Amino acid sequence: MGFVNKCPFEFSIQYPPRPEYFVEHYSSTPEKALFQRSIPELLYIHIPFCETKCSYCFFATDHRITSSRMETYSNAILKEIDRYPLLKTMGVSCVDIGGGTPTILPESALDKLLSTVSVLLKSNSSNAHSIETTPKQASLYAEKLNTIQNYGFNRISMGVQSFSSKLLKNINRKQHVEEVSSAVENIHKAGFKRLNIDLIFGLPNQTLFLWQQDLTQAVSFKPDSITIYDCLYRGKGPTLAKNLFHLPRLNEIDQMYNWAYSYLTENGYHADYGSVNFSRHESETGTSEYFERRLLWGEPYLGLGNYATTLCKGFWQFNNYKVDDYIKNINYGNSCIEYFYSLPLEELAAKHILFSLNFGKINIDHFHKLFGVSLNALYEPELAFAKNRGWIHFKQPNFRTPYLWEE
């Protein structure tokens, strides 16, 4: 019995599903010549370290945050960079450093990493390079913000998630609301040109009223963009005791998103309906250039660090999930690739559609350019079904998610 038959519910609501599905269908041998002649323009670097494991989080994080451990890990990143000689000769046009909490790295490790990465940058775009932080880190360590900005990173994304101390405690997140104000002040003082605030809706015990308060407070700081994530199918780990909390239902999730869309657009933030990214700058999507070009435009990308993912020329690879395995393999000169897949056209197209819908639309002209086939040719029955149900509308050149209250 295959993975889909064993886990139909997970497969249907959480695409892309866990590695079992891809291992079963698309496992392949790593393509050694993949980056001998070219290198993707987009680079992601994963820093896994966090103070605690939030109960909703399914990312590859590590909570052993000793200075020596973080130094060892960041040195391994530098060694992985050396495995791609074209990174230094060809360079990259945009970089995103995420996690985890990248700014939790010791000052010396952060400076060394950014110094190395800055040599790879070939873009003059003022917002091309982005990094993530938390209110605590940005509040307490202003000197790190100065270091980051000095190395050409002009966009910073801060994971606030909620302004409710009670909700944050429910999800095992250590954060004081008052830290947000000083964090925003430090970010502006450091000279960042773009500030993004992340919020989550659908958290355990979160009501529409609490969500409205979160959005109102976020807007009061006037960030350049606000990203909202749903917690609908998260919180599957043992740290979330579901019997102790009310998990918002689908209709409550819908209400939260719809209120957010109305409120943010009324307050000067731009987005297509269905998008999770809202920007005060009309010509921008609100996300980092890396994620916009990767998700919306389907460009190839290279990932460094534990469980970082790379997609290029139809091949999809993941580094070792565990930090210890990643460090050991890097230091011993072994491959750090844990999963490697060769994806067919249909799978690549499905991934692109899913990611495009993070922006509330699918551009049919760009789809044809990427895959050499029309969207309708691949998905005519599915598109007809969705249009008949009123789930999607077409307005040249995009399929888009209609307002739920539209006829």
Q: Please choose, from the candidates 245, 218, 219, 222, the residue with its C-alpha nearest in 3D space to the C-alpha of residue 234.
A: 245
Q: Is the same domain home to 246 and 378? A: no
Packed helices 250-266 and 208-220: angle between N→C axes, nearest 10 degrees:
30
Note whether residue 325 is domain-resident.
no
- Give the end of a domain, one of 296, 323, 348: 296
Note whether residue 93 is domain-resident.
yes
Note whether residue 223 is domain-resident.
yes
Q: Is the same domain home to 243 and 387? A: no
Measured CA to CA, the distance from residue 113 to residue 79 in angstroms comes to 11
Find out whether 105 and 76 touch, Cβ atoms under 8 Å: no
Measured CA to CA, the distance from residue 36 to residue 249 in angstroms comes to 49
| pLDDT at residue 258 in the model | 95
Measured CA to CA, the distance from residue 284 to residue 271 in angstroms comes to 9
Quick one: how far is CA 240 from the chain centroid? 22
The whole domain housing 383 covers 361-407
Written as six digits, the tokens of 171 are: 């999800």
Q: Is the same domain home to 261 and 148? A: yes
Match 């993941």 to its residue by tokens. Answer: 318
Which DSSP string corresponds to 317-360? Answer: EEE-SSHHHHHHHHHTT---EEEEEE--HHHHHHHHHHHHGGGT
Note whether residue 208 is domain-resident.
yes
Q: Is the same domain home to 59 and 199? A: yes
Q: Is the same domain home to 96 and 178? A: yes
Q: Is the same domain home to 270 and 374? A: no
- Give the end of a domain, one of 243, 269, 296: 296
Strands 155-161 and 130-133: parallel
- Give the end of a domain, one of 296, 330, 351: 296
| pLDDT at residue 407 in the model | 38
Structural domains of the chain, count: 2
CATH number where 254 lies: 3.20.20.70
| pLDDT at residue 250 in the model | 84
| pLDDT at residue 234 in the model | 45
3-state DSSP assignment of residue 187:
helix
Measured CA to CA, the distance from residue 170 to residue 167 in angstroms comes to 5
Q: Is the same domain home to 247 and 376? A: no
Contacts 24+ apart (CB under 8 A), 255-263: 255/208, 256/201, 256/202, 256/206, 256/208, 256/211, 256/230, 257/201, 257/228, 257/230, 258/404, 258/405, 259/208, 259/211, 259/212, 259/215, 260/201, 260/211, 260/215, 260/228, 263/212, 263/215, 263/216, 263/219
Maximum C-alpha span of the chain: 61
Note whether residue 382 is domain-resident.
yes
Match 């990248």 to its residue by tokens. Answer: 102
Q: Is the same domain home to 94 and 223? A: yes
Measured CA to CA, the distance from residue 204 to residue 248 in angstroms comes to 7
Find out whether 305 and 49 touch, Cβ atoms under 8 Å: no
Written as six digits, the tokens of 188 are: 């502006």
Note whether residue 331 is domain-resident.
no
Match 């109305």 to its residue by tokens. Answer: 262
Within 10 angstroms of residue 70's Cβ, the number of other Cβ atoms is 22
Q: Is the same domain home to 292 and 373? A: no
Q: Is the same domain home to 261 and 136? A: yes
Written as six digits, the tokens of 58 are: 């399914």
Which DSSP string corresponds to 42-62? Answer: EEEEEE-B-SS--TT--S--B
Find out whether 210 and 246 touch, Cβ atoms under 8 Å: no
Within 10 angstroms of residue 373's Cβ, the number of other Cβ atoms is 13
Which DSSP string corresponds to 119-158? Answer: TTB----TTS-EEEE-HHHHHH-HHHHHHHHHTT--EEEE
Within 10 angstroms of residue 267's Cβ, the number of other Cβ atoms is 15
Please tell me the pTM assigned to this model. 0.94
Q: Is the same domain home to 292 and 365? A: no
pLDDT per residue of the chain (407 residues) written in tens, 0 to 9: 566 677 665 555 556 667 888 999 999 999 888 998 999 999 999 999 998 888 777 788 999 999 999 999 999 999 999 999 999 999 999 999 999 999 999 999 999 999 999 999 986 666 689 999 999 999 999 999 999 999 999 999 999 999 998 898 888 887 777 899 999 999 999 999 999 999 999 998 999 999 999 999 999 999 999 999 988 544 444 445 555 578 888 889 999 999 999 999 999 999 999 999 999 999 999 999 999 999 999 999 999 999 999 999 999 999 999 999 999 999 999 999 999 999 999 999 999 998 999 999 999 999 999 999 999 999 999 999 999 998 888 988 999 887 654 43
Q: Is the same domain home to 253 and 374? A: no
Note whether residue 242 is domain-resident.
yes
Measured CA to CA, the distance from residue 146 to residue 226 in angstroms comes to 22
Note whether residue 145 is domain-resident.
yes
Measured CA to CA, the distance from residue 132 to residue 373 in angstroms comes to 37
Measured CA to CA, the distance from residue 135 to residue 391 in angstroms comes to 37
